[in-house]
Amino acid sequence: MQQTKRGELVRKALDTFYRNGFHATGMDMIASETGVSKTSIYKHFRTKEDLILAVLRLRDENFRNWLFRRMDDLASTPQDQLLAMFDALEEWFRQDTYRGCMFIKASAEYQELDDPIHAQSAEHKRLLQDHVANLCKQAGAPAPQDLARHLLLLKEGAIIMAVLGRGPAAAQDAKTAAHTLIDAALP
């Protein structure tokens, strides 16, 4: 399988895992939905977990690139970009394919902290926090890490509430709370 075929496999597997979950998706399903034989899959990924890690790396890259770009597009100042994060989330929640956060799902299915899949999920969240903390610092927050942590709690809560039935409104509810936090945190 060529490198481009490997990338195509990872992209298609991402959709399958996102839609069905990790434990519920067997390698037979991956082979069927991607059109790649199990023999070919195992030539590039020793285990299903290795494929999941590749899928999570791709999802991390795609999601962060999308989110950060949307925040930049929607607002010009760091403070406004922090709030724009919730507008971007609302756009995501409105997509027909929205099924929640792949990293929350992965960490729930692979709960041991030292499991590589759990660790990859935690790394995604850490990278998001680093970016948000940097924006908080640029906005003048005296405790940027604290504010970033609080804003990300709202972000994660909105993601969960959107899945549980609040839909896109969850993003605006979180944005309202974020506005209050930001106003209180900034001098």
Is 125 contained in some domain?
yes
pLDDT digits (tens, 9 = 90+) for 133-156: 999 999 999 999 999 999 999 999
| Tally of structural domains, the chain | 1
Q: Find the CATH number of the domain harbouring 92.
A: 1.10.357.10
Pick the closest to residue 52 from 77, 32, 28, 25 (CA basis).
25
Is 3 contained in some domain?
no
pLDDT digits (tens, 9 = 90+) for 39-90: 989 988 999 999 999 999 999 999 999 999 999 999 999 999 999 999 999 9
The CA-based angle 107-60-96, given to 5 degrees, is 85
Query: What does the alpha-carbon distance between residue 161 and residue 108 come to, in Å, rounded to a whole number?
Result: 16
Is 10 contained in some domain?
no
Is 77 contained in some domain?
yes
Query: What does the alpha-carbon distance between residue 77 and residue 99 come to, in Å, rounded to a whole number?
Result: 30
Residue 2 has pLDDT above 80, yes or no: no
Percent helix / strand / coil, the chain, rounded to 5 = 80, 0, 20
Letter for the amino acid at 30?
I
How many residues are present in the chain?
A: 187
Query: Would the pTM count as exceeding 0.85?
Result: yes
Pick the closest to residue 102 from 151, 52, 65 (CA basis).
52
Q: pLDDT category, 4, cuts 50, 70, 90? A: confident
Share of the chain above pLDDT 70, in %: 98
Domain containing 170: what range? 53-185
